[in-house]
Amino acid sequence: LVQQRSVLVLDEATSALDPASEALLLRRLHARDDRILIAITHRMAIAGMAAYSPPMRRVSVSPVTSSSSPATR
């Protein structure tokens, strides 16, 4: 945030913030319309700011067994 870049990528940037700090950060980010912001998040406060949100599909995760781990192949 210190350097003035044209693209800013945030990955779960507010996950450790309390609601007041998150709101302050989001207000400041939203006030800067001179850059592209790409946010990876589970928080609806950030997702709600998006001009575009790509559709997500369900993904299943298979458990890792000892026979399928890279160390045993």
Mean of the per-residue pLDDT values of the chain:
77
Q: Residue 64, by phi and psi: left (phi above 0), alpha (psi -120 to 50) or beta?
A: beta
Mean pLDDT of 32-45: 79
User: In terms of pLDDT, which residue wins out, 61 or 71?
Assistant: 61
Could you identify the residue written with the tokens 């790409």?
38
d(CA 73, CA 59): 25
Give the pLDDT band (50/70/90) at residue 35.
confident
> CA–CA separation, 5 vs 34, rounded Å?
9
How many angstroms from the chain centroid is the CA of residue 62? 24
Backbone φ, ψ for residue 52 (5° rounding): -145, 135
